[in-house]
A and B are shown apart, each in its own frame.
Chain A
Amino acid sequence: MKRAIICFVVSISCFLLSGCWDRTELNDLALVTGIGIDQKGKEIELTAQLVVPKKLGAGASMGGNNSGSSGGATIVRSGTGKTLADAIAHLQEKLPRRLFWGHVKVIVFGEKAAKAGIRAHMDFLSRNPQMRLRSNVVVSDKTAKSVLELLPPIEQSSAEVLRELSNSQILMNITLKDVLQMLSGETGAAALPMVTLLPIEKEKTPLETIAYIDRTAIFKGDRMIGSIGDKLTRGALWIRNEIEQANITVSLKGAEGKITSTIIRANTKLIPSYKNGRWKMTIDITSRDDVLLNATNLSLYNEKHIHQLEKALAQATIERVNATLKKVQKEMHADIFGFADVIHRKYPKQWNRIKNRWDDIFPEIEVKVKANVVVQRPGMNTTPQGIPEDEVEK
């Protein structure tokens, strides 16, 4: 009897062990690497960039054999609908495989969609259990589709290109998590990297290029209100303490030519203060630089010249930051720097009184920028190369 029962149970489990009933094999899945969201009239157009597995495998194993045409590893498909979820349903109709969102590397918003508001899209993206908070978010100056359909010459997909560019942190690097934090934070503003198409080289097809990050889109609430160029973005990065790589070129008084130095380490402190009903913000920047290029005839082994250089670098940094403040604080009134958070942290009591009026207060805040630059190493050269020794000013 007992044996019979055991046999029965074992044979039943055979049915269950054949696999999960909602199993999905890898070759039934369409792996999405990038999502594009565009506004088309009143409808949303969703573009998904999908991996074409065959091409991807061939490209990886053959390496450089088919010179430079590793492109074609991805395709794009679009669907439209009233909401993002609706658009996905329509997109799924056009695909033989189930869409899988677990590998989304980048989410691209078309400029129109960004101007129409991104909150509803953000809710969908963070609610979906397959989606990752690590995905990078960018805004395209044209449509999102035009960015995703590119077939980049080096990387496997344009989504990968955007992810790598974001991670390099030369300009803004914003993930889905960061966007959610900015949108639900105190500042009421957000900044997202903005991409544009690289002009196409000769003898290349129109799609063989990449989109690169060259601006920053400024959001108030969940709507995009404008954008700032790369110089101003770098000013914003200084203030946000996100600067990783930067070269600053200055010319010194009394010397011809220019000196470029690169940042090794930089740190920015935002120090708020409150006096007589007026808010003040001190931006305290310290950075350590190395010299990259010296086109003057000054020897950088002379301490006097180094001090001169440090002052000039600090001045250049302050000018950059001030230019950004002028545009973003005084003209756009968007607190993308996180001043609100800093004040909230340091003056929680006062903050509760002013938080409803923050939009009026922010543009009026008096900002003082201080910079302290230390040049640490002159690179491999002692005195400037390529000029006779006696022309060098020691």
Chain B
Amino acid sequence: MNTAGALLGSIVVVVLIFLLELPRFRRAEKKEKATFLVLLGLGMALAVVLIYFPDVPGPTQLVHYIFEPLARVFKLE
């Protein structure tokens, strides 16, 4: 997938989510508004990171790093 397309795609998704939730967003309390925007922002940021650096180590690698010694003890290979 080309980078520009992916970037455009994620922007479209984020904007769509925003527009879709706009009526509810208007009615929501301040805290919810903030959470909504922060989560969307996090998503967008993560999307950008993943588009430019698709091989950046993720949670799986972290978890694997923590628990792999245990897996070796049980010889699960």
Contacts and interface: CB of A to CB of B under 8 A. Distances in A.
A1 B19 CA distance: 9
Contacts of A9: 16, 20
B22 interface: yes
A5 B23 CA distance: 11
Interface in B28-62: none
B22 A1 contact: yes
B56 to A, nearest CB: 28
A159 B19 CA distance: 58
A123 B43 CA distance: 41
Interface in B1-39: 16, 19-20, 22-23
A62 to B, nearest CB: 51
A53 to B, nearest CB: 36
Contacts of B19: 5
A2 B16 contact: no
A6 to B, nearest CB: 9
A296 B39 CA distance: 93
Interface residues of B, number: 5
Interface size class of A (residues with CB under 8 A): under 10
A1 B16 CA distance: 13
Nearest to B23: A2
Interface string A4-46: 0100010000000000000000000000000000000000000
A9 B22 CA distance: 15
Nearest to B20: A5
Nearest to B16: A9
B24 to A, nearest CB: 11
Contacts of A2: 23
Interface string A246-285: 0000000000000000000000000000000000000000
B8 to A, nearest CB: 14
A1 B23 CA distance: 9
A1 to B, nearest CB: 7
Contacts of A1: 22-23
A243 B35 CA distance: 71
A1 B26 CA distance: 13
A350 to B, nearest CB: 26
B74 to A, nearest CB: 23
A5 B20 CA distance: 7
A210 B23 CA distance: 72
A9 B13 CA distance: 11
Contacts of B23: 1-2
B6 to A, nearest CB: 16
Contacts of B22: 1, 5
A4 to B, nearest CB: 9
Nearest to B21: A5
Nearest to B19: A5
A2 B23 CA distance: 8
B18 to A, nearest CB: 10
Contacts of B16: 9
Contacts of A5: 19-20, 22
Given A1-B22, A5-B20, A5-B22, 4 more contacts: A1-B23, A2-B23, A9-B16, A9-B20
List of 3 A-B pairs having minimum Cβ-Cβ separation, nearest first? A5-B19, A2-B23, A5-B20
8 contacts: A1-B22, A1-B23, A2-B23, A5-B19, A5-B20, A5-B22, A9-B16, A9-B20
